[in-house]
């Protein structure tokens, strides 16, 4: 039992930031987790359908973007979303939208710090 508690503890210690943001394309609210580099892997942005799925025994993210594969991270706005952050990798751009400028700035700064 102690070992399981240690495993659960370990899966959260690299988390730098977490919370709900929206995906740009679908506008669905998803639970995003920003992780620092650790034994589990490189610094990355993951998202889950909801917080409950992230907190489950063996969470598997819907998507993970390694920050070291991003050649650019930008703040942007479009007609629908005033507070977007876009992560650009060689193969794609992944955009997320925050509800407020303050939330956008917190996530943006946290991503730059880890990159």
pLDDT for res 1: 42
Check pLDDT > 70 for residue 43.
Answer: yes
Reference 47, options 32, 27, 28, 29; nearest CA is 32
**Residues near 84 by Cβ (< 8 Å), separated by ≥ 6?**
24, 75, 76, 77, 78, 95, 96, 97, 98, 104
Distance (Å, rounded) from C-alpha 4 to C-alpha 90?
Answer: 38
For 22, the token pair is 């929206």
The answer to whether residue 59 scores a pLDDT higher than 60 is: yes
d(CA 14, CA 40): 9
**6 has pLDDT over 50:** no
CB within 8 Å of 52: residues ≥ 6 apart: none
Average pLDDT, the chain: 90
How far is Cα 5 from Cα 47, in angstroms, rounded to an integer?
23
């Amino acid at each position: 039992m102690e070992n399981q508690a240690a495993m659960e503890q370990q899966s959260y210690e690299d988390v730098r930031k977490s919370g709900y943001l929206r995906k740009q394309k679908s506008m669905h609210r998803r639970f995003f987790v920003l992780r620092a580099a650790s034994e589990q892997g490189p610094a990355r942005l993951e998202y889950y359908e909801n917080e409950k799925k992230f907190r489950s025994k063996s969470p598997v993210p819907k998507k993970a973007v390694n920050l070291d594969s991003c050649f650019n991270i930008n703040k942007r706005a479009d007609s629908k979303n005033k507070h977007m952050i876009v992560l650009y990798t060689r193969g794609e751009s992944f955009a997320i939208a925050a509800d407020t400028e303050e939330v956008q700035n917190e996530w943006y700064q946290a991503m730059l710090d880890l990159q």
